[in-house]
Amino acid sequence: MFDGFEIADVDVGEARIHVRIGGDGPPIVLLHGHPRTGSTWHRVAPLLVEHGRTVVVPDLRGYGRSTAPPPRADHAQASKRAMAEDVRELMHRLGHDRFDLVGHDRGSYAAFRLAMDHPEAVRRVALLDCLPIVEHLDRITPEFATQWYHWFFFAQPDAPERVITADPDSWYHGDPEAMGLENFAERREAIHRPEVVRAMLEDYRAGLTVDRADEEDDRAAGRQLTMPLLVLWSLRDDLEQLFGDPLAIWDAWATDVRGHGIDSGHHVAEEAPAELVDALTGFFDEHEDGSAAP
């Protein structure tokens, strides 16, 4: 995986971030979801390098080979604001104070928070399989609670750790051939470390507490994303089926939003990399006035 990429561990303050860096050109950051690591982008990142990009692929704090502070009572150490600050500091130390940004699943919440808090740092942002947390919670139905029950199970104290660490391979399914053998092996190594499982669960606990509160504050203050936003979702996942048109929901959170579905299951970077890269490059290559690049 990631042939030609540099691998580094960068101290950003509260955490040490494991990161892969490749290519040359305008910088773009790719943030993974749960329970993946940065290796989930192994089919996408090389295509973006070929397209003339510097591609930065970190493990989020607490995930994979990145570290995280010990859990706190308020879960703030796992907040998306803390993850966003990690990414901003990482990019600063790599010499990039302004960059494009992509987030999937839990990584999309970190990307959303970074773009909301630091619009000066984010030129354009793409969010994959994502709605704001408060929009999910405002739309709780029996179907959502059944299909997304893990949000509320992971928020419970202690029990999720005991269940998952008893047999991580049974909890986290995955097809090695579909994921890619090295990607599967990297994820498997991570989920067998209790400290990683704990950090991943703290991500969800923060989501329903401190992250929810941050989004409620944004909404009350009328804050919106001011850079162009691309929203993509997997047509063979359940986001659109549960919540309707994602663009209609995101319209309240951004001044310039567009997007569409992709024929894929949830892990789009692994399942439909070419289609995803086409969508990303078409968006990120636009000129500032919105016209297409030649």
The 3-class SS string of 138-156 reads: HCCCHHHHHHCCHHHHHCC
The number of C-alpha atoms within 13 Å of 179 and in the hemisphere containing its C-beta is 20
CA distance 155 to 114: 23
Query: Catalytic one among 51, 237, 266, 285?
Result: 266
Q: Are strands 16-23 and 6-11 parallel, antiparallel or unpaired?
A: antiparallel
Active site residue 32: no
105 is catalytic: yes
Please tell me which residue in 59, 86, 100, 105 is annotated as part of the active site.
105
Provide the annotated active-site residues: 105, 266
